Structures are given as C-alpha cells and as structure tokens.
C-alpha cells in the first residue's frame, strides 16, 4: 500500500472499504440505482473506480466524470465515448449505426485505438445542440448492449457539479431538468430494467441543489448511499500499515495525537498528515514528538500550505449556493469555527429569526455535505482541521 495524496486509489492502495464495496454490489444486485453522497476527499471516486476495476461476475462497468462539463451534451458525449472506446461494446455498439455527425466521428475512430478523452471532445462537438436526439440513439443501444444475462453499470461522477452549473441560468435550467428526466427515464424504462444500472455521485449534495431549484422529484427513486470518513480504528490500522510499508512506524500515542487533532479521519487528511510528518522528520521515526506533530498540524496542514488541499471546501459553497445562501453559509461556519466545541444554537438564533426557511435549508446542506454536525445543543465542525483552517482564512468575525 502506498502513501497516495490526491489521486483516486484502487486495488491494494484502497484501504478499509470492503464493507462499502459489498454493500454497493448488494444494492445494485437488488436492482437499485444509487446516489452516492459524501464530501470531497472521502474516497468516492476511489470506490467508483474500484467497482470498475474489479466488477462482480456478469457486470460490466463504465465510469465517466462530468465535473468539467457545462451542459447535457457533455454527459451524452462522455457516456458514448466510454462505451465506444470499450472493447467489450465496440462491435455491438456499431450494429445500429448512429446518424449524422456522431456517426462520422465514430466511423473515424473505428479502426484506431481510441483515446477516450479525445473521442469525448469530438463527440461533444458532433452532438452540439442535438443532445436529446443523441441521447435517444444512445438509449436505443443500451437496450442490447449488455450480453445476455449481464448487467451494465454506468457510473457518473460529479453529476451535481454539472447540474448546479446548468441551474445558474433560466435557459439551462430547462436543460438540467431534461437531463435529469432522461436519467430517470433510463432507470424506469422497462426495456432497460435488469440490464442497465446507474450510480451517480458527487461532492456537493445533489439533493440540496435540486431542492433549491424545486426539482427534487427527479431523483427521489435513487437509493442514497452515504459514504463516511473512516472510523477511528480503521484510520489507526491504516497508519500502522503505511508505516510498516515505508519504515516510518508511528507509536500508538503519536497515532492517537494525530487523530485527535484531525477529529474526523477523512482518508485524504490522514494520508496528508502522514506524508507531511514523514517529510518533516526526514523519515526518522525517532524525530517524531508531540511538538513535531502539533507543528505539522498548525503550520502545514492548517497553515497557508494547507490551502491547496482545503480550498475546495470554500469553493464548492460558491458553486452549490446562490448568493444569499452563500452569505448565510459563511455566517454559520464563521460562528461555528471559533471554538473547538462549536457554537450553541442559541448563538445562531438571530439567523433563524431573520431567515427562517433559508437558514434551515442551508444548515441542512452544510450538514449533508459534511461541514458540520449537531451535537446536543451545539453545532460543530466535523473536522478539526477544517475548523482551524476556516478560522484562520475565512472567518470574518472576531479576530483569532
Ligand atoms: N480507501 C482509501 N484508502 C486510502 N486512501 C484513500 C481512500 N479513500 C480516499 N483516500 C485518499 O483520499 C484521496 C482522494 O480520494 P478520492 O477517491 O478522489 O475522493 P473523492 O472522490 O471523494 O474526492 C486519495 O488520493 C487518497 O489520498
Ligand atoms: Mg471524486
């Protein structure tokens, strides 16, 4: 197992997710379609890619990431490209020819070994505004794509990003609605039942994004799958295994200190802490001390250099929320970050009085997206790392 920071991990590098993988397969085999929910860096993409790397018998899996897309043509092009580039589907895919520009693109790439990203860009250009038509053609092929008795799983990563980008303008709101209706249609079409399953996921809660646009009905048939950070014993075992692998073994007290400081063992944060500490100690475990661990946390992880790893928490608020809600979210987080034990709800009462429903809706999303959680009568940051960093770089209230 390697100390991987940033890239999705699969196979031997994917730690402690056997239960989640088994649950995902079980849910899919029961015929459900899945909405995977978790904040960024918890390991969604890793799990999705592991489903593709080691599928269960009789399952074929394709994976597309639509994070950078801006419209429904991106989605259709991504799925088409993934299918057309896949050896298992390529020949069967061509038995029903597409029409027009899509056909030309697929024809040109027929005999060459296909780079899926290039194909995707070409297909998007060919589809243009006719995405609905291309989606029809794709659907007709999905009916006979999986071999007899086999299932096709289509994984769509970061769909909420694509959807929330589309919801920003009135014209594209209609497109977003059409795209989500199309996906629902795939889930419900009798000819696809028992053959095609979808798993959609992402780092901003699709539920919240759609609720604000009054479109929640379009996903209420999906089975929600909540992916959490590791539990503490898994994080402990992970650090031991990692230490054994690179001759940087940490004692129990050091591991406990690291996990106390992080509080929420987000896999990425654990990987990052390990690597930062190892570098600071130049791979000599004898140099590890409580002060060294503390310094790594304060100055590196929660310091300016941590911004590269944590800034996405701030960015995605801008993407997920409209302007007023964004203000509200920052106000709530600002109040909750000042103390390790968070803010009492009494301290948030003025926000509730002022904005009622909007306050409740933002609060719900901040909880669903993994920023904060209720504990008794208090609202706390889940991650103490994020809290510290937020306090330093985003809190516009009382100076630290
Ligand atoms: N099961 C895991 N085992 C080891 N590291 C993990 C695991 N899940 C996530 N990570 C760490 O988190 C990083 C981001 O993982 P990724 O799957 O891309 O998360 P997400 O898609 O939720 O943002 C990886 O580079 C790795 O450092
Ligand atoms: Mg991801």
Determine contact, residues 80/145, Cβ cutoff 8 Å.
no
Instruction: Give per-residue pLDDT as tens, 30-40.
Output: 999 999 988 88
Q: What is the pLDDT of residue 278?
A: 97
Confidence of residue 95 (pLDDT cuts 50, 70, 90): low
Nearest residue (by CA) to ligand 1, atom 26, is 268
How many CB atoms within 10 Å of residue 53? 12
pLDDT tops 50 at residue 399: no
- Mean pLDDT over 61-88 rounds to 91
209 membership: H or E segment, kind and range: helix 206-212
Confidence of residue 400 (pLDDT cuts 50, 70, 90): very low
Q: What is the pLDDT of residue 8?
A: 97
CATH number of this structure's domain 16-226: 3.40.50.300
Going 166 to 171 to 177 to 179, the CA torsion angle's sign is negative
Q: What is the pLDDT of residue 73?
A: 93
- Give me the torsion for CA of 268, 257, 389, 227, rounded to 10°: 40
- Mean pLDDT over 305-320 rounds to 88
- Tell how strand 378-381 and strand 372-375 pair up: antiparallel
153 membership: H or E segment, kind and range: strand 151-157
Domain over 320-393 is classified CATH 1.10.10: yes
In DSSP terms, 198 is beta-bridged to 154
Q: What is the pLDDT of residue 63?
A: 96
Return the residue matching tokens 């390529």: 90
pLDDT tops 80 at residue 112: no
Instruction: Give per-residue pLDDT as tens, 341-369.
Output: 999 999 999 999 999 899 999 999 999 88
Q: What is the pLDDT of residue 205?
A: 80
pLDDT tops 90 at residue 18: yes
Ligand 1 pocket test target in 1, 2, 5, 9 with most atoms within 8 Å of CB: 9
Measured CA angle at 122 (ends 110, 181), to 5 deg: 105
- Mean pLDDT over 109-117 rounds to 76
The whole-model pTM stands at 0.93
pLDDT tops 70 at residue 109: yes
Going 40 to 41 to 45 to 51, the CA torsion angle's sign is negative
User: pLDDT averaged over the chain?
Assistant: 91
Query: Using a 6 Å cutoff on CB, does residue 46 contact ligand 1?
Result: yes
Instruction: Give per-residue pLDDT as tens, 158-195.
Output: 999 899 889 888 778 889 999 999 999 999 999 888 89
pLDDT tops 90 at residue 70: no
Q: Which of 96-110, 194-208, 235-249, 319-333 has the lowest mean pLDDT?
A: 96-110
Q: Distance, CA 157 to ligand 2 centroid (Å)?
A: 7
Instruction: Give per-residue pLDDT as tens, 379-398.
Output: 999 999 999 999 999 887 55
Determine contact, residues 340/333, Cβ cutoff 8 Å.
no
pLDDT tops 60 at residue 241: yes
> Closest ligand 1 atom, CA of 1?
4
Domain boundaries, the chain: 16-226, 232-301, 320-393
And the tokens for 76?
Answer: 């259709």
Q: Distance, CA 40 to ligand 2 centroid (Å)?
A: 6
User: 184: closest CA among 146, 137, 226, 217?
Assistant: 217
* CA pair distance 327, 313, nearest whole angstrom: 15
User: 385: closest CA among 269, 239, 230?
Assistant: 269
Query: Using a 6 Å cutoff on CB, does residue 45 contact ligand 1?
Result: yes
pLDDT tops 80 at residue 207: yes
% residues pLDDT > 90 (the chain): 66
And the tokens for 329?
Answer: 């979210």
> Closest ligand 1 atom, CA of 4?
27
Query: Using a 6 Å cutoff on CB, does residue 11 contact ligand 1?
Result: no
The larger pLDDT score, comparing residue 350 to residue 93, is at: 350
């Amino acid at each position: 197992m390697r100390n991987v920071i940033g890239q999705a991990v699969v196979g031997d590098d994917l730690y402690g997710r056997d239960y989640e993988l088994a649950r995902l397969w079980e849910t899919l085999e029961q015929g459900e379609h899945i909405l995977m929910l978790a904040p960024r860096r918890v390991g969604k993409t890793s799990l999705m890619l592991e489903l593709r790397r080691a599928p269960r018998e009789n399952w074929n899996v394709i994976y597309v990431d639509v994070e950078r897309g801006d419209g429904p043509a991106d989605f259709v092009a991504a799925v088409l490209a993934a299918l057309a580039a896949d050896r298992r589907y390529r020949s069967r895919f061509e038995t029903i020819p597409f029409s027009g520009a899509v056909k030309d693109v697929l024809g040109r790439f027929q005999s060459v070994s296909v780079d899926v990203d290039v194909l995707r860009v070409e297909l998007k250009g060919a589809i243009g505004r006719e995405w609905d038509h291309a989606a029809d053609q794709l659907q007709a092929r999905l009916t006979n794509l999986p071999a007899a008795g086999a299932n096709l799983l289509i994984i769509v990563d970061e769909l909420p990003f694509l959807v929330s980008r589309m919801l920003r303008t009135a014209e594209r709101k209609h497109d977003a609605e059409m795209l989500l209706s199309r996906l629902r249609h795939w889930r419900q079409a009798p000819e696809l039942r028992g053959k095609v399953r979808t798993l959609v996921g992402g780092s901003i809660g699709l539920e919240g994004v759609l609720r604000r646009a009054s479109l929640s009905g379009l996903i209420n048939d999906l089975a929600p799958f909540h992916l959490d950070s590791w539990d503490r014993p898994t994080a402990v075992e992970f650090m031991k295994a990692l230490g054994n692998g690179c001759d940087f073994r940490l004692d129990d007290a050091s591991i406990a200190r690291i996990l106390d400081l992080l509080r929420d063992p987000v896999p990425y944060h654990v990987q990052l802490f390990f690597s930062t500490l190892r570098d600071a100690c130049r791979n000599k475990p004898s140099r590890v001390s409580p002060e060294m661990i503390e310094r790594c946390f304060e100055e590196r992880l929660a310091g300016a250099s941590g911004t590269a790893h944590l800034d996405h928490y701030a960015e995605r608020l801008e993407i997920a929320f409209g302007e007023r809600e964004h203000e509200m979210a920052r106000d709530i987080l600002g109040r909750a970050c000042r103390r390790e034990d968070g803010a009492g709800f009494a301290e948030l009462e003025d926000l509730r009085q002022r904005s009622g429903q909007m306050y409740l809706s933002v609060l719900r999303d901040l909880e669903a997206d993994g920023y904060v959680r209720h504990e008794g009568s208090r609202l706390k940051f889940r991650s103490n790392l994020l809290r510290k960093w937020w306090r330093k770089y985003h809190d516009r209230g009382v100076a630290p």
